[in-house]
A = this chain, B = another copy of it.
Amino acid sequence: MKGTTSATAPSDVPAPAEGVRAWKEKFVSIEYCPIRTVINQIGDKWSVLILAVLGTRPHRFGELRREIDDISQRMLTQTLRDLQRDGLIARRVIPTVPPSVEYSVTALGQSLLEPMSRLIGWAEQHQAEIKRSRQRFDASVAPD
């Protein structure tokens, strides 16, 4: 294992060019890749959105479903389960009749929201530029 478990402060956020050099090796090492594991989970279709919504306040299952409304019940259940498995959200069954279930972000999930919000901020800030780039690219490839 690497020394990361002892939380030797990765100092801070380094100049990207340096930081990258650092994690490249961890990425490429094939034995096990913690980063890919995490990116995979939150890189799916719904995880980020659900975390975002739960970040505002706890929600019940049905609330989430209505709020997102273009998610299928299957994917909502499954994504919630995966997030719970990773310890990012907590599931609390309230013994009413019929039973209700409340989901909320854990401390771990909260800590993820910060870097995630930065990434999303970036996406918002640069979406226009990306869109333009895509149009330019597509036009130059299929100029028809």
- Residues of chain A touching chain B, judged by Cβ–Cβ distance below 8 Å, are 1-14, 16-17, 19-21, 23-24, 26-28, 30, 34-40, 42-45, 48-49, 52-53, 55-56, 67-70, 84-87, 107-108, 110-134, 137-138
Q: How many copies does the complex hold?
A: 2
A30 to chain B, nearest CB (A): 6
Q: How far is the CA of A5 from the CA of B4 in the complex (A)?
A: 13
Q: How far is the CA of A53 from the CA of B97 in the complex (A)?
A: 54
Residues of B within 8 A of A87 (CB): 129-130, 132-134, 137
Given the known interface contacts A126-B108, A134-B85, the answer about A24 and B116 at a Cβ–Cβ threshold of 8 Å is no
Q: How far is the CA of A9 from the CA of B116 in the complex (A)?
A: 14
A63 to chain B, nearest CB (A): 13
Given the known interface contacts A23-B124, A121-B115, A124-B26, the answer about A5 and B3 at a Cβ–Cβ threshold of 8 Å is no
